[in-house]
């Protein structure tokens, strides 16, 4: 049972345009969400996070939106750059003090010059 789902395995956008990556979850107890970026042969790198008490968090070109009623979050990258080409994972925390994260399957983003 996949509690965190990224239904789009891949996304291709033109440089300078907006990239929107989506993530759905099923567990209403999740209270903290994160996005990670991963290049080949490297570990995931933390990008941005959002607490369930917020509906938006912004950091430079990256904005995460959270819609709790729809159990949906999205990552917007504006403007997209070729260096953004990577696999993006969303993750959710079950809360408490364990730090356990549940990851989605990942979406491969390709930004074309």
Given a contact cutoff of 8 angstroms between Cβ atoms, the answer to whether 56 and 66 are in contact is: yes
Task: Specify the stretch interacting with another protein by CB under 8 A; choose among 10-18, 31-39, 57-65, 73-81.
Answer: 31-39
For residue 22, give both structure tokens. Answer: 């989506």
Please provide the distance, in angstroms rounded to a whole number, between the alpha carbons at the two ends of the chain.
Answer: 38
Residue with Cβ nearer another protein (34 or 77):
34
Residue with Cβ nearer another protein (79 or 110):
110
Given a contact cutoff of 8 angstroms between Cβ atoms, the answer to whether 92 and 68 are in contact is: no
Given a contact cutoff of 8 angstroms between Cβ atoms, the answer to whether 97 and 71 are in contact is: no
Binder of another protein out of 51, 54, 78, 82 (CB under 8 A): 51
Residue with Cβ nearer another protein (54 or 112):
54
Q: Which residues bind another protein (CB under 8 A)?
A: 4, 6, 31-32, 34, 36, 41-46, 49, 51, 89, 91, 93, 95-106
């Amino acid at each position: 049972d996949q509690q965190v789902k990224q239904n789009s395995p891949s996304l291709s956008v033109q440089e300078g345009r907006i990239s929107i990556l989506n993530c759905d979850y099923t567990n209403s107890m999740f209270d903290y969400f994160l996005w990670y970026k991963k290049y080949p042969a490297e570990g995931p790198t933390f990008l941005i996070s959002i607490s369930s008490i917020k509906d938006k968090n912004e950091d430079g070109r990256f904005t995460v939106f959270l819609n709790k009623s729809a159990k949906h979050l999205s990552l917007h990258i504006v403007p997209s750059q070729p260096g953004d080409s990577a696999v993006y994972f969303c993750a959710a925390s079950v809360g408490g003090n364990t730090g356990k994260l549940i990851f989605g399957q990942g979406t491969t983003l390709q930004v074309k010059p």
